[in-house]
Amino acid sequence: MANVFEDMAPEELDRTIVELERQADEVRARHLRLDMARGKPSPEQTALSKPMLDLIGSTTELVDGDGVVDNYGSPDGLPSARALAAEILGVDAENVLVNGSSSLSLMHALVTSGFTNGVAGNKPWYQQGKVKWLCPAPGYDRHFGITAHLGIENVPVPMGEEGPDMDMVQRLVESDPSVKGIWCVPKYSNPTGVVYSDRVVRRFAMLKPAAPDFRVYWDNAYVVHGFMDEEDPLLNIFDALEEAGTTDLVYEFGSTAKVTFPGSGIAFVTASPQDMAEIRKSFQVARVSPEKFSQFAHARYLKDLDGVRAHMRRHAAIVRPRFELVESKLSEGLGGLGVATWTHPRGGYFVSFEGPEGSARRIVKLMADLGVKLTSAGATWPYGRDPKDTNIRIAPTYPSLEELGAALDVFVVAVKLVSAKLVREQR
Ligand code: PMP
């Protein structure tokens, strides 16, 4: 689609920019303080889980199968919490470890363990020279932060509509033994909302890595976070691995951060039995047993996958109108202008927006100037370097519908103004 600003004669473009500047000045004069930066549930959403807090009291019997809640023991997590996590991920509870409240911390612990102690009996990465990690981009900045923090080289891989560019992934993983991992969010990817296709999942399962200590970090953070009526199926990676006859390739993660309370949910990891033995050993060094009150409360409150799905339908009723508002405001304001595209997710927490080349930083800066905070431009790329400076992550869940609508109106003005100015500057 042609960029409308490019089709304008110079005088018309000038007039348009003056009018958009006027609209921006009007917004500025309102001294807004809005925020579309945070991938957090709204207060209405976290309130859904408050009844969980009433489920444990001083008279509750603190026993869970063969696990004791109020003392050490059950290093892999309480039986009920492991069963719940296993149902959420669709794997065998025997291979699940529930630990702590943050899946990101579990990922950090395992990358660090590869660095300091090695994976599957291989030399620790710190002794192996340069180590690389594949980063589908746009992707999740905190993933990229873990590997960057350890001095691992983050290598961007383009994200497509079905998942990462698998030709590139396969070529790099199968030819370069310094590639030790890849970050994946297979369902409602952060920030594109992409659900990996069966073909992509199968190609992951069939990888023959050059490095024996390569693992796929399959962060299924949004596995139950669809907000439409129909489910969006994701092929189970462990079924695909079995079909392909592959073992010891994938670590899968999940948490209830965006099911119950971010920061106070339960987090879990699963992998092959052999990999799990290594993961257990590594975690045993760091703690005697995990925190179990939260596990106990979560299992009592959510019960099983049906319970989780029912709870997530209540989230969906709150979240879906916000995503619908993003879609309607962007299509009304920018549709047909030929300056931008955006994703239309059916789950997860983000919309990924692509503006003209060289626009993202300027749009985010102008938005801040107009009183609306966005995730910093470039955050969705390793080292904050978006090569074309086009991507902006929109996080619509936290603000109220009213605030979100106001923020999106400002966004439309900012995108138009920056796009029009870019055309004029390039003439
Ligand atoms: N993974 C992804 C893809 C996320 O988007 C988030 C939260 N923004 C997390 C992990 C963090 O989860 P947790 O709170 O369990 O560490």
Best residue for ligand 1 mutational test, from 40, 103, 183, 188 (most atoms within 8 Å of Cβ): 103
Spell out which residues line ligand 1, taking CB within 6 angstroms. 39, 102-104, 140, 185, 190, 219, 221, 255, 257, 262, 267
pLDDT tens column, 397-409 = 999 999 999 999 9
The whole-angstrom separation of Cα 53 and Cα 167 is 48
Q: How do the domains of the chain map onto residue ranges?
A: 4-45+309-426, 63-303
ipTM above 0.85, yes or no: yes
Task: Please report, rounded to a whole number, the percentage of residues in the chain having pLDDT higher than 90.
Answer: 99
The whole-angstrom separation of Cα 268 and Cα 76 is 9
Position 235 scores a pLDDT of: 98
Question: Is the CB of residue 36 less than 8 Å from the CB of residue 394?
Answer: yes
What distance in angstroms lies between residue 143's CA and the mean position of ligand 1's atoms? 9
Best residue for ligand 1 mutational test, from 140, 194, 380 (most atoms within 8 Å of Cβ): 140
Q: What is the mean pLDDT of residues 139-162?
A: 97
Picking from 280, 285, 298, the residue whose alpha carbon sits closest to that of residue 101 is 298
In 272-359, alpha helices (H):
273-286, 293-302, 305-334
The whole-angstrom separation of Cα 284 and Cα 189 is 31
Position 1 scores a pLDDT of: 81
Best residue for ligand 1 mutational test, from 146, 195, 219, 352 (most atoms within 8 Å of Cβ): 219
pLDDT tens column, 22-42 = 999 999 999 999 999 989 999
Q: What is the mean pLDDT of residues 353-365?
A: 98
Grade residue 272 by pLDDT with cuts at 50, 70 and 90. very high
Q: What is the mean pLDDT of residues 295-299?
A: 98
Q: What is the mean pLDDT of residues 83-96?
A: 98
What distance in angstroms lies between residue 153's CA and the mean position of ligand 1's atoms? 21
Beta strand pairing status for 391-394 and 351-354? Answer: antiparallel
Helix (H, G, I), strand (E, B) or coil at 228: coil
Q: pTM higher than 0.90 for the full model?
A: yes
Residue 396 has pLDDT above 90, yes or no: yes
What distance in angstroms lies between residue 201's CA and the mean position of ligand 1's atoms? 21
pLDDT tens column, 227-239 = 999 989 999 999 9
Position 352 scores a pLDDT of: 98
What distance in angstroms lies between residue 21's CA and the mean position of ligand 1's atoms? 38
- CATH 3.90.1150.10 matches 4-45+309-426: yes
Position 260 scores a pLDDT of: 98
Q: Within 13 A of 5's CA, how many CA atoms are on the CB side? A: 24
Residue 373 has pLDDT above 90, yes or no: yes
Grade residue 226 by pLDDT with cuts at 50, 70 and 90. very high
Position 91 scores a pLDDT of: 98
Best residue for ligand 1 mutational test, from 101, 104, 224 (most atoms within 8 Å of Cβ): 104
Position 38 scores a pLDDT of: 83
In 261-304, alpha helices (H):
273-286, 293-302
What distance in angstroms lies between residue 221's CA and the mean position of ligand 1's atoms? 6
- Atom of ligand 1 at shortest range from CA of 104: 16
Average pLDDT, the chain: 97
Position 55 scores a pLDDT of: 96
pLDDT tens column, 55-83 = 999 999 999 999 999 999 999 999 999 99
Q: Which residue's alpha carbon is nearest to atom 4 within ligand 1?
A: 221
**CATH topology agreement for domains 4-45+309-426 and 63-303:** no
CATH code for the part of the protein at 63-303: 3.40.640.10
- Atom of ligand 1 at shortest range from CA of 350: 5
Q: What is the mean pLDDT of residues 389-402?
A: 97
What distance in angstroms lies between residue 103's CA and the mean position of ligand 1's atoms? 6
Q: What is the mean pLDDT of residues 114-131?
A: 97
